Amino acid sequence: MIRKSRVNGILLAVFCALCVAGGLRPAAAAAVQAQRPFKNFSVAVYIPVRSTQQLANPKTLREQFQRIWSQVHFNKVYLEVYRDQRFANPATLNRIAAFFRRRGITVDGGITLFSGVNKYYQFNSFDFENPRDIAMCKRAVREAASHFNTIILDDFTFFNTRSNADIRAKGKLTWSQYRLRRMRWVAKHLILGEAHKVNPHAKVIIKFPNWYEDFQGLGFGLDREAKMFGGIYTGDETRDPVHTVQMLQQYESYLIYRYYHNIRPHSDFGGWVDTFGDRYVDRYAEQLWDTAFAKAPEITLFSWPQLASSEVVYPGDRWAWADDRTSFNWNAMVRSFKAPPGTDAAPGWARVAGYALGQVNAILGKLGKPIGIASVKPFNSSGEDFLQNYLGNIGIPINLMPHFPLHAPVVLLTREASYDPRLVQQIKANLRAGGDVIITSGLLQKLQQQHRGIDSVAEIKYRGMPVTVRHYLGSPGGAATLGLNVPGEKAPPVTFPEIRFYTNDTWPVIQGEAAAHGVPVLLMTGYSRGELYVLNVPSNMGDFYRLPEPVLNMLRGYLVNRFPVRINAPAHVALFAYSNHTFVVESYLPRPVTVRIFVRRPAAQLVNLVSGHSVLPSRAVTPSPLPDQRNETSFVVRLAPHSFEAFAERF
């Protein structure tokens, strides 16, 4: 009796032979057989060059593959050819690739154009004025292109050296100007040019990392470079939001993919998440979920050695919510692991990924196209760095884009928007068309310094003197009479810059008070058919998280006024909304939280897409700040720590 696996192998060999006769290469033929393990997205694993070298041993390859495959199924690998002055053995690449292709797994190439670390363990890019580094870059690209039709560049395709040769080449340019220009040359000649010399069909994908505010300083050009390559990829790693150098906020795992997608629609091929810097296992799951909520078509797991490790994954610092019924259920994840026969293996990071991806896959197909409040970050701009992610973490859905959206109902503009030379004209045009425009205190200051004419919209002046407040008042009816502090709780001090405005011309709809002195938190004034808002950003933008919940609720009431759904919740609760009247509410808090959902439709009905249960309406006990919000329907839901729920309006 012939074993089934042998039959499958014979059939695949015959199929490949037929395809070769028809002009299709064996690698491409095998790729046709690839099956996606998850219905709503592809899953890839990145294999760094050290692992590529180790996998040349057939026994190691079989064992490590089985270790990962027993925990998470994937349909693609990126096989790295070069990193850190180390090359894979070209003689073994085809054999490793054939192993995966026989199992229906697509194999693409990978390169990390990275020289190593210096004596202080800081990253060193290639010096693109150094002939040795240029030659090594060419060799890496040519090697990859000779084996693969598709190649991804890990996110070290930047330039941070300051050698004497660099200094001479820079001349009178700024470092940003010089590096942007030089990296366009590198992309054209050293990467794309060399790849196409070897393989005219090579498609090179550039991964742009998570530190998008600083790209121009190291030569990453989202404006021109993103369009030069065959596609782009997104670094969705946010890791721990506090105990890391970058301190990237959780919402960025969603927002950054949407931003890159808006830069190059339909050519941002996926999001990339790693296992590093997480104090508790739920944080890794959250990054995967939020990448999926952003509708990334592919999710790459970095990297093979962490996933193939025989080390047991530990729950980490999650004791405060260990007994809660969280979205990432540790005990259920452990139970779902099936050790390979004859082993005593325990679940690792790969099983965490497999479990988390399975959860989000179950509902993702029911969610439509992501939507949010339009916010503008022009190319090569900086200012109130990563502010949109802090706002996303307080429940304001953001759709970040590189250009001003004409006739958008609401536009949020931070200091970076000042890089648009036509900004004030566009603000006026949007207001005349009946839209609302929200500008931050940082943008107000910048436009004022540049004498750009923002005072022709309203005479509001940034004065900047710091005022530290603990007490807050709301004035939905015109007078500051509604207390916004939580009764019985002492609010922490928050410092705001002072803003000058004319009474009865501009309205402080939310105001902070300190020692009989007020500072606006949110200003509102009319212009033509629209409303201009000025959002006062705390001196430490992380202090948005320290504002009392009633302040955040009223803030959302104004800023999300025209959106189909909004929430009342404390900080660290995010809202992801979609075009088909579906949405997701996710809590990054370590404790259970009650969230009130407002759907912008009277007598709305809601169903929980996770449980399948209907959610009953619940009358709001606090007044809505704006008159046209009186026809909303509200619902109260309970979120477990570090958990999400998905909902759909039922018509």
Q: Which of 364, 382, 417 is the last residue of a domain?
A: 364
Closest by CA to 460, choosing from 503, 409, 416, is 503
pTM of structure: 0.93
Distances (CA, A) of 104 to 29, 32, 267: 10, 8, 24
Which tokens belong to 31? Answer: 């790729």
Q: Clarify whether residues 431 and 329 are in a common domain.
A: no
Number of domains, the chain: 3
Of 609, 617, 445, residue with least CA distance to 534:
445
pLDDT tens profile 551-580 = 999 999 999 999 999 999 999 999 999 999
**4 plus 53 within the same structural domain:** no
Residues 323 and 403 grouped into a single domain: no
Burial class (CB in 10 A: 0-12, 13-18, 19+), 31: buried
Tokens of 352: 């965490």
Mean pLDDT by 10 residues, the chain (651 residues): 38 37 38 73 98 98 96 98 96 97 97 85 92 97 98 96 97 98 98 98 98 97 96 98 94 98 96 97 98 98 97 96 96 93 89 98 97 98 97 98 95 98 98 98 98 98 97 78 92 97 95 95 97 98 97 95 95 98 98 96 94 92 67 94 97 82
Residues 9, 115, single domain; the answer is no
Q: Are 214 and 239 in a shared domain?
A: yes
pLDDT value at residue 478: 60
CA–CA gap between residue 559 and residue 578 (Å, rounded) = 18
Domain end residue (candidates: 332, 364, 396): 364
Same domain (yes/no): 357, 382: no
3-state SS class at 495: strand
Q: What is the CATH number of the domain that holds 44?
A: 3.20.20.80
Specify the pLDDT at position 477.
64
Q: Report pLDDT for 65.
A: 97
Both 329 and 406 in one domain: the answer is: no
d(CA 425, CA 367): 36
Do 246 and 343 lie in one domain? The reply is yes
Calpha distance 122→536 (Å, rounded): 36
pLDDT of residue 7: 36
Average pLDDT, the chain: 92
Q: Are residues 22 and 43 in the same domain?
A: no
Q: Contact, 649 vs 599, CB < 8 A?
A: yes
Question: Tell me: the pLDDT tens digits for 67-93?
Answer: 999 999 999 999 999 999 999 999 999
Half-sphere exposure for 270 (CA within 13 Å, toward CB) = 22
Task: Provide the pLDDT for residue 8.
Answer: 41
DSSP 8-class letter at 546: G
Distance (Å, rounded) from C-alpha 412 to C-alpha 533?
Answer: 9
Residues 17 and 114 in one domain: no
Residues 42 and 140 in one domain: yes
Report d(CA 356, CA 430) in Å as an integer: 41
Asked if residue 333 and residue 378 are part of one domain, the reply reads no
- Give pLDDT, residue 34: 55
Determine the Cα–Cα distance for residues 372 and 426; give it in Å rounded to an integer. Answer: 20
Last residue of a domain, one of 364, 389, 414: 364
Q: Give residue 161's domain range.
A: 34-364
CA 384 to chain centre: 17
